[in-house]
């Protein structure tokens, strides 16, 4: 259609029109049509025509862009021609073979030389005219992609690969493809197809066999074994680059240089037939294409590619159609990632040489970073996962790497190959896989423990991939986000297989394990040098985390925590855990100190979890990491500085405190190391952190070992001795509390004791800093314990209360040493610093500390065991049971509390409830006094004593408190002295109060009495008497008291008796001066105690100490007797005494010892009794003078007197004629002395009684006569003769002669009426009866009659008795003479008769008839006595008979 064509060029300038026509004809000729403008040319070789077309299109593109007809020609003619010529290439199936292939028409078969030139034309069209031919290019590109199908001939595929390579090295082309196709919804995704076909091509090369090309395949397969056999494997040998996979080996023939496309086959225009293909050329080309796609994509993303340098603007296209470059960039990655990944992963696996692998890895790394930058997580993760997989051994089970769905594509081919029995796995000699390390796989949670894998091998390539991973993480850390998890998991597994372990003190760096025991990994020397480098790269990776954004840092930390969490889970099954994550958390924390607060909570929470893990290694590292972080954080120079930022201190120290909740001792050990480290290095930056540090130190547990407690205590000592001034004031109560905790721990006693010492130091600190504390603490009142009922207490006092309460608690510790130490410290502190407290605080001290302490100690003592301690230690017997040890505590507490009352009494009396407290304390003392433990009871009394002594200042206000004290004293006295005699006799070791106790109790009364004397009543006196008597009644049962008792000489009183005497003495003094009503009671008490002379308490005979019973009791009784006599002497003239029966009681009291006489326990007793009796009678007689007629007139007095005198006469009778015989050991001198005493009494009667008989009752006088009568002639009893005639009887009777003589003389004296002459001068009485003596004693009037009558009657009766007895005895004894004393007695009686008759005769008128009858009645006896043979009797008888001469005649 020439006109048409002409018309197309009609508007063009002439030259341009010619060009147009020429080009039009050229296309016609190539198309095998006739030219329209060129006349004469009928045909042209198609190859030549295509070459010409290519040349024109290539060199004159501006013409086409400039003129519309050209563009139309291009679109309508050229493109259709190209598409037509393409069809044989597309339809032909090179791979089918068989007869159909040979019978195909000649035209249908693709010709190499045509295909080659056709592709070159397409290349120019796409590169130069893309904007004009967008749709057409879509077709061209689709066709080229089809060229890569596996069923096409090899040369065709190679050409297509070269063409594709030429296009992909041009970033702008790729941008255009993507913009116009992939980004449009209805277009074919050309770029995606292109990349996918490359991927498919690569997979096909290795996965399927190619029978269509037998020759090259044959050479390759023939060459592979020889290569393998011939290639030595090892360091220093360079391996030929290539790919080996599942038995297929392809050498790498093209060395890749990014951005350059060398076209070998596209440029071979001189060949008609395809040249032979080199084995591996296609794969090499595809490899380069893939790498260049990534390179170009990265250029597009990094640099905005200008549109207009290659393609001039096209008038028809509007800017609105343009897709934004951002969308294009994203689409580029979206379209290409899948194909790229599948191919590169396979090539990476198959590559046999480092540089090839390195290129692949770099490209994958680059692609993942691009995807990350554009926010395409799936793509990023897939590529990272592929690299991670490549770094691990084949079949390595790692669930993380299967987690991303996209990776299924990657592993599809490789896993298929890996599992193929003909693949590389079956043949370990695979030269690609140079094994450099063998190790154990790290167990994972996805595998059950039973499915434990065998050893795994790492190759050099695995390590190369590992470096790539490190590089990705290092360079693109900010882009990884959640992919950190994949990266770190892989690194953890690799590190584990290689046996890199963290070592303590290295801040989390990993080191090669030194010994085989530490690791199972077998490392070849080839890689040994690389390991430190890898470890350093790892560390650098984490060090570079300081450059990460905050968000990325969180991702990194989260990933580490997740990985570590998995390790923790595994460690529960007791498999050895991987410490990689924990070590790296430490490293990450260390390098990010400047912004540590952002991740602090996350990291530390996880490390705390690790610390509480049952696996020791895990705990060790958790603790190591956590403590190192805390130490580093405190040392770091934060902004603002740490010491001005209390919130930050709390944040940093929080985890250290949390560690205390973990019971494992190893964690506690690490925690304490950390505390010590902090104290030594960071103490000055802590302000509000101190309470936390003290809390940590005080977190004790019973299961902690002694060493742990000791370390903790050292830390506490450091704080309380060196750093206390640095600590804020509100940490002081905490310090007190913590020191107390150490006091109560039971692992180490010495620490407990030292801790109590620390509390003492704290009290000193409070004292020294009282001014600061009083002011400073007030701002924060909530830090101290709340004391109920003491809301108003000032804070400084609360601090003291805190200290006192803690010490009080320690006083109840289970160990006696701690209790003792705490008790002493408590009371010393109160004594030393109590004055600092406000008065009302003392109430709290009493009611919150001291009294509860007494109560609790009392309860504990009650519960304490009385079993002997089973320790091997030798313990003194006074402390060998728990109860005895508690006794010591009771002593300490009661003494301490009492001392507080004594020393602070002025303070305490100001309190409203002082009396209540006083009463309560006395109750405690009372209770403790009754303790069976002597030590406790004595201490209670000592305290009582102290309280009484201290109360010197007496006042009316205090009377009630002393009344309470008196009640307590009585109560103690009564309750402590209750005795069960039967029990005492039956029990082997009876418990009775000790002498020391009783003495102390008695000792208190004289001191207490001044306070209560004003109100002391008779009832009180009765009570006192009861107690005193009871005290003295208690027997001494043990030798243990000897030292106490036998301090004096033998004749000294017992201390108890002295004290009792003092009690009565004090009372007596008061009664004499102020209160006479008490006197009768005092007399009664003395009388009762005087009975100890002869009667002893029931239990006293149980006394086991020699010399005490009854001697000391008798001694005491004698003392009481004397006191009784003295008191009577002082008080006999008082009305109250004379009205009461005191005299009678006294006589009754002395009567018993006098009656017992020689049978008294002590010979001095009856002497004293005689003295008292004589003294009392003399005193009472002194009241009644003869002139005092009142004595007679008072009937009551007379009556009472009668009773008294009856008792007196009985007493004298029983004493003078005692039934008891003198002891064998009394000497003659002593017996003489005894007789003198008897004579004394007769003298006394003569002087005081017989001289004034009118004062006395008649019966009394009679009884005295009977006594004199008895005594005047003392016949020895018959029995004594019969028993022993010669033993001492002479002596005894001769000694009693004096007594008989004085009795007789007295009788005579009162029987003679007036002056009389002696009967004869030679009486043997030494002139006792001299006239003048008698003259003095003659009584007149009424008195003499009474006395004389009684005396004579008595005498005569006595004479008759003696005469008869003598005569009988002599007859009985004949011819043996009677003993001398009987003879002398008889002689004496006869002389006396003579004297009596002579005196009677003189006063015959006064003598009554009965007397004469009595006298004459004697005569027969005298006659019968004449038979006596004794000369002295005969001469006396003669005188007596001579006197009767006067009576033979009646008187005048």
Q: Residues with Cβ < 8 Å from 1329, sequence gap 6 or more? A: 1305, 1308, 1309, 1318, 1323, 1395
Each residue of 53-81: pLDDT tens digit?
Answer: 888 888 988 888 888 888 888 888 888 88
Residue 1080 token pair: 């009768």
| CB 748 within 8 Å of CB 813 | no
Determine the pLDDT at residue 866: 63
Residue 358 token pair: 């390195």
| CB 1348 within 8 Å of CB 1392 | no
Burial 1411-1442 (b: 16+ CB within 10 A, else e): beebbeebeebbebbeebebebbeebbebbbe
Nearest Cα residue to 278 out of 248, 242, 250: 250
Each residue of 837-875: pLDDT tens digit?
Answer: 877 778 778 888 888 888 888 887 777 656 665 555 556
Cα–Cα separations (whole angstroms), residue 440 to 380, 488, 567 = 30, 18, 16
Each residue of 1209-1262: pLDDT tens digit?
Answer: 787 877 777 777 777 777 878 778 777 888 888 888 877 777 777 777 878 788
Residue 1272 token pair: 């005047």
Separation of first and last alpha carbons in the chain? 235
Q: What angle do CA 760, 762, 764 make, to 5 degrees?
A: 75
Tell me how far apart the alpha carbons of residues 263 and 268 are, in angstroms, rounded to a whole number: 9
Determine the pLDDT at residue 1129: 80
Tell me how far apart the alpha carbons of residues 963 and 960 are, in angstroms, rounded to a whole number: 5
Cα–Cα separations (whole angstroms), residue 798 to 657, 742, 794, 805, 825 = 26, 21, 6, 10, 18
Determine the pLDDT at residue 557: 92
| DSSP 8-state class, residue 904 | T
Determine the pLDDT at residue 876: 62
Determine the pLDDT at residue 605: 92
Tell me how far apart the alpha carbons of residues 439 and 452 are, in angstroms, rounded to a whole number: 13
Nearest Cα residue to 964 out of 976, 981, 977, 951: 951
Residue in the block written with tokens 């008061």: 1070
Residue 526 token pair: 């080839």
Q: Write out the DSSP string of 1324-1343.
A: SSTTTT-HHHHHHH---HHH
Determine the pLDDT at residue 96: 44
Tell me how far apart the alpha carbons of residues 405 and 409 are, in angstroms, rounded to a whole number: 8
3-state helix, strand, coil in the chain (%, to 5): 70, 0, 25
Residue 1332 token pair: 């003048």
Determine the pLDDT at residue 558: 92
Tell me how far apart the alpha carbons of residues 780 and 798 are, in angstroms, rounded to a whole number: 12
Three-state SS sequence of 1072-1102: HHCCHHHHHHHHHHHHHHHHHHCCCCHHHHH
Q: Write out the DSSP string of 543-583.
A: HGGGGS-HHHHHHHHHHHHHHHHHHHHHHTTTPPPP-HHHH
Determine the pLDDT at residue 1126: 86
794, 799, 804, 810 alpha-carbon torsion, rounded to 10°: 150
Determine the pLDDT at residue 1127: 81
Q: Write out the DSSP string of 1354-1384.
A: HHHHHHHHHHHHHHHHHHHHTTSPPPHHHHH
Determine the pLDDT at residue 106: 46
Tell me how far apart the alpha carbons of residues 1269 and 1354 are, in angstroms, rounded to a whole number: 6
Tell me how far apart the alpha carbons of residues 1184 and 319 are, in angstroms, rounded to a whole number: 162
Tell me how far apart the alpha carbons of residues 452 and 440 are, in angstroms, rounded to a whole number: 10
Query: What is the bridge-based pairing of β-strands 510-512 and 500-502?
Result: antiparallel
1242, 1243, 1245, 1246 alpha-carbon torsion, rounded to 10°: 120
Cα–Cα separations (whole angstroms), residue 548 to 466, 476, 583, 1023 = 21, 9, 19, 95
Each residue of 1043-1092: pLDDT tens digit?
Answer: 555 554 566 777 878 888 888 888 888 888 888 888 888 888 888 877 77
Element (H, E) at 863: helix 851-863
| CB 129 within 8 Å of CB 59 | no
**How many Cα atoms within 13 Å fall on the side-chain side of residue 312?**
10
Determine the pLDDT at residue 897: 86
Tell me how far apart the alpha carbons of residues 1093 and 1121 are, in angstroms, rounded to a whole number: 9
Cα–Cα separations (whole angstroms), residue 221 to 251, 970, 1108, 1131 = 12, 123, 128, 150
Each residue of 532-556: pLDDT tens digit?
Answer: 888 888 888 888 888 989 998 999 9
| CB 1216 within 8 Å of CB 1234 | no
Nearest Cα residue to 1146 out of 1220, 1079, 1100: 1079
CA-based radius of gyration for the chain? 69
Residue 76 token pair: 């309508």
Q: Residues with Cβ < 8 Å from 68, sequence gap 6 or more? A: none
Count of CB atoms situated within 10 Å of the CB of 171: 21
| DSSP 8-state class, residue 11 | T
Each residue of 701-723: pLDDT tens digit?
Answer: 888 888 888 898 999 888 888 88
Q: Write out the DSSP string of 666-716.
A: HHHHHHHHHHHHHHHHSGGG-STTHHHHHHHHT---TTS-HHHHHHHHHHH
User: Based on the number of CB atoms within 10 Å of its own CB, is 999 exposed (0-12), middle (13-18) or buried (19 or more)?
Assistant: buried
Q: Quick one: angle between helices 154-168 and 112-129, nearest 10?
A: 20
Tell me how far apart the alpha carbons of residues 1011 and 1081 are, in angstroms, rounded to a whole number: 20
Q: Which residues of the chain have pLDDT under 50?
A: 1-7, 95-107, 210-236, 308-309, 315-320, 404-432, 779-781, 954-956, 1048, 1186-1199, 1275-1295, 1313-1341
Share of the chain above pLDDT 90, in %: 1
Tell me how far apart the alpha carbons of residues 1366 and 1445 are, in angstroms, rounded to a whole number: 23
Determine the pLDDT at residue 189: 84
Residue 210 token pair: 């190619």
453 phi and psi angles, rounded to 5 deg: -80, 155
Determine the pLDDT at residue 1199: 42
Strand partners, 248: 245
Tell me how far apart the alpha carbons of residues 1082 and 1018 are, in angstroms, rounded to a whole number: 10
Strand partners, 251: 242
Residue 151 token pair: 């069923």
Determine the pLDDT at residue 1324: 38
Determine the pLDDT at residue 1043: 55
Nearest Cα residue to 145 out of 177, 183, 98: 177
Q: What is the mean pLDDT of the chain?
A: 76
The strand order across the sheet containing 456-459 reads 456-459, 435-439, 522-523
| CB 840 within 8 Å of CB 793 | yes
């Amino acid at each position: 259609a020439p006109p048409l064509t002409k018309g197309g060029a009609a508007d063009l300038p002439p030259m341009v029109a010619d060009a147009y026509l020429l080009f039009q004809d050229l296309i016609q000729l190539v198309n095998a049509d006739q030219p329209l403008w060129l006349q004469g040319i009928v045909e042209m070789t198609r190859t030549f025509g295509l070459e010409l077309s290519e040349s024109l299109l290539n060199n004159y593109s501006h013409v086409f862009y400039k003129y519309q007809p050209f563009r139309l020609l291009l679109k309508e003619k050229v493109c259709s021609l190209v598409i037509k010529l393409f069809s044989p290439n597309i339809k032909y199936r090179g791979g089918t073979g068989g007869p159909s292939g040979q019978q195909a028409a000649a035209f249908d078969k693709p010709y190499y030389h045509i295909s080659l030139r056709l592709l070159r034309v397409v290349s120019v069209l796409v590169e130069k005219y893309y904007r004009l031919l967008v749709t057409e290019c879509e077709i061209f590109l689709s066709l080229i992609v089809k060229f890569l199908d596996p069923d096409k001939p090899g040369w065709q595929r190679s050409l297509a690969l070269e063409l594709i390579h030429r296009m992909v090295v041009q970033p702008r082309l790729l941008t255009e493809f993507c913009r116009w196709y992939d980004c449009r919804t209805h277009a074919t995704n050309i770029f995606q197809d292109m990349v996918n076909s490359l991927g498919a091509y690569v997979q096909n090369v290795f996965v399927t066999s190619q029978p269509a090309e037998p020759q090259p395949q044959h050479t390759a397969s023939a060459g592979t074994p020889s290569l393998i056999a011939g290639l030595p494997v090892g360091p220093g040998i360079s391996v030929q680059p290539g790919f080996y996979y599942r038995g297929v080996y392809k050498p790498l023939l093209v060395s890749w240089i990014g951005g350059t496309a060398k076209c070998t086959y596209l440029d071979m225009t001189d060949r008609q037939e395809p040249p032979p293909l080199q084995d591996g050329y296609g794969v090499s080309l595809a490899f380069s294409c893939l790498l260049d796609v990534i390179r170009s994509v990265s250029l597009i993303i990094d640099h905005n590619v200008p549109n207009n340098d290659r393609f001039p603007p096209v008038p028809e296209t509007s800017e609105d159609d343009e897709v934004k470059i951002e969308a294009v960039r994203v689409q580029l990655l979206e379209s290409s990632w899948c194909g790229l990944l599948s191919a590169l992963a396979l090539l990476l696996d198959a590559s046999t040489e480092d540089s090839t692998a390195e290129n692949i890895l770099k490209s994958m790394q680059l692609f993942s970073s691009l995807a990350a930058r554009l926010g395409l997580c799936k793509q990023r993760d897939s590529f990272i996962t592929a690299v991670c997989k490549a770094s691990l051994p084949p079949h390595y089970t790692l669930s993380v790497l299967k987690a991303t769905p996209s990776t299924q594509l990657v592993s599809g081919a490789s896993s298929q190959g890996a599992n193929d029995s003909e693949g590389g796995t079956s043949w370990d000699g695979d030269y690609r896989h140079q094994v450099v390390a063998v190790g154990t796989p790290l167990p994972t949670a996805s595998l059950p423990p039973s499915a434990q894998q065998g050893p795994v091998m790492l190759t050099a390539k695995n390590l190369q991939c590992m470096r790539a991973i490190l590089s990705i993480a290092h360079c693109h850390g900010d882009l990884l986000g959640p992919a950190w998890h994949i990266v770190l998991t892989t690194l953890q597994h690799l590190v584990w297989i290689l046996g890199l372990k963290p070592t303590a003190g290295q801040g989390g760096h990993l080191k090669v394990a030194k010994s085989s025991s530490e690791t199972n990994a077998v490392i070849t020397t080839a890689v040994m040098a690389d390991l430190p480098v890898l470890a350093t790269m790892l560390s650098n990776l984490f060090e570079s985390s300081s450059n990460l954004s905050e968000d990325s840092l969180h991702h990194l930390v989260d990933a580490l925590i997740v990985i570590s969490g998995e390790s923790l889970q595994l460690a529960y099954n007791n498999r050895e855990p991987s410490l990689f994550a924990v070590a790296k958390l430490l490293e990450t924390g260390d390098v990010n100190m400047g912004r540590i607060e952002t991740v602090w909570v996350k990291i530390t929470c996880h490390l705390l979890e690790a610390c509480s893990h049952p696996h020791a290694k895990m705990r060790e590292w958790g603790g190591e990491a956590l403590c190192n972080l805390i130490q580093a954080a405190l040392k770091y120079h934060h902004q603002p500085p740490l010491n001005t930022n209390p919130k930050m201190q709390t944040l940093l120290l929080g985890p250290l405190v949390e560690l205390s909740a973990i019971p494992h001792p190893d964690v506690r050990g690490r925690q304490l190391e950390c505390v010590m480290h902090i104290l030594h290095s960071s103490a000055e930056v802590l302000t509000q952190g101190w309470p936390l540090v003290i809390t940590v130190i005080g977190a004790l547990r019973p299961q902690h070992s002694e060493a742990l407690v000791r370390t903790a205590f050292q830390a506490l000592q450091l704080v309380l001795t060196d750093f206390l001034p640095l600590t804020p004031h509100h940490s002081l109560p905490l310090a007190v509390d913590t020191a107390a905790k150490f006091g109560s721990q039971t692992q180490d006693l010495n620490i407990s004791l030292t801790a109590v010492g620390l509390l003492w130091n704290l009290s000193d600190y409070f004292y020294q800093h009282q001014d600061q504390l009083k002011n400073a603490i007030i701002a924060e009142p909530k830090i101290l314990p709340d004391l109920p009922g003491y809301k108003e207490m000032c804070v400084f006092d609360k601090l003291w209360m805190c200290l006192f309460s803690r010490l009080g608690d320690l006083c109840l510790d289970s160990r006696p040493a701690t209790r003792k130490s705490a008790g002493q410290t408590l009371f010393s502190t109160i004594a030393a610093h109590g004055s600092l407290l406000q008065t009302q605080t003392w109430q709290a001290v009493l009611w919150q500390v001291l009294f509860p302490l007494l109560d609790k100690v009392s309860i504990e003592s009650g519960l304490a065991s009385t079993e002997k301690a089973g320790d091997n230690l030798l313990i003194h017997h006074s402390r060998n049971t728990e109860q005895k040890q508690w006794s010591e505590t009771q002593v300490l507490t009661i003494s301490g509390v009492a001392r507080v009352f004594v020393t602070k009494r002025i303070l305490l009396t100001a309190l409203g409830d002082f009396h209540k407290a006083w009463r309560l304390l006395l109750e405690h003392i009372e209770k403790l006094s009754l303790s069976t433990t002597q030590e406790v009871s004595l201490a209670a009394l000592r305290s009582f004593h102290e309280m009484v002594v201290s109360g010197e200042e007496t006042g009316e206000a205090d009377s009630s408190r002393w009344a309470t004290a008196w009640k307590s004293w009585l109560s103690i006295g009564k309750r402590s002295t209750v005795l069960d005699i039967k029990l005492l006799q039956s029990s082997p070791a009876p418990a009775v109060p000790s002498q020391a106790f009783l003495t102390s109790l008695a000792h208190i009364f004289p001191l207490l009495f001044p306070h209560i004397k004003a109100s002391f009543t008779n009832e009180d006196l009765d009570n006192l008497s009861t107690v005193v008597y009871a005290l003295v009644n208690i027997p001494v049962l043990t030798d243990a008291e000897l030292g106490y008792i036998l301090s004096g000489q033998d004749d000294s009183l017992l201390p108890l008796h002295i004290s009792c005497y003092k009690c009565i003495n004090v009372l007596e003094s008061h009664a004499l001066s102020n209160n006479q009503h008490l006197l009768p009671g005092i007399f009664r008490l003395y009388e009762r105690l005087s009975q100890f002379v002869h009667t002893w308490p029931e239990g006293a005979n149980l006394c086991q100490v020699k010399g005490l019973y009854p001697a000391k009791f008798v001694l005491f009784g004698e003392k009481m007797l004397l006191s009784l006599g003295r008191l009577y002497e002082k008080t006999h003239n008082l009305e109250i005494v004379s009205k009461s029966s005191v005299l009678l009681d006294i006589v009754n009291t002395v009567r018993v010892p006098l009656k017992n006489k020689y049978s008294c326990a002590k010979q001095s007793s009856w002497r004293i009794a005689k003295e008292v009796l004589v003294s009392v009678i003399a005193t009472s007689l002194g009241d009644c003078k003869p002139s005092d007629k009142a004595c007679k007139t008072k009937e009551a007095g007379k009556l009472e007197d009668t009773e008294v005198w009856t008792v007196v006469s009985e007493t004298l009778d029983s004493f003078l004629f005692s039934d008891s015989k003198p002891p064998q050991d009394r000497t003659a001198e002593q017996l003489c002395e005894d007789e003198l005493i008897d004579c004394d009494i007769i003298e006394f009667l003569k002087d005081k009684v017989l001289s004034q008989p009118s004062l006395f009752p008649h019966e009394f006088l009679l009884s005295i006569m009977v006594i004199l009568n008895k005594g005047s002639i003392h016949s020895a009893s018959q029995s004594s003769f019969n028993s022993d005639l010669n033993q001492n009887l002479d002596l005894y009777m001769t000694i009693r002669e004096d007594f008989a003589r004085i009795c007789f003389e007295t009788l005579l004296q009162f029987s003679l009426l007036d002056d009389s002459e002696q009967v004869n001068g030679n009486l043997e009485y030494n002139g006792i009866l001299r006239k003048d003596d008698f003259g003095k004693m003659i009584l007149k009037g009424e008195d003499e009659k009474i006395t004389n009558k009684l005396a004579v009657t008595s005498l005569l009766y006595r004479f008759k008795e003696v005469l008869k007895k003598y005569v009988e005895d002599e007859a009985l004894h004949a011819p043996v003479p009677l003993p001398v004393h009987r003879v002398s007695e008889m002689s004496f009686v006869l002389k006396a008769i003579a004297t009596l008759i002579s005196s009677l005769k003189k006063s015959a008128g006064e003598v009554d008839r009965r007397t004469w009858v009595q006298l004459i009645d004697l005569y027969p006896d005298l006659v019968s006595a004449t038979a006596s043979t004794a000369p002295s009797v005969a001469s006396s008888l003669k005188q007596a008979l001579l006197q009767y001469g006067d009576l033979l005649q009646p008187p005048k």
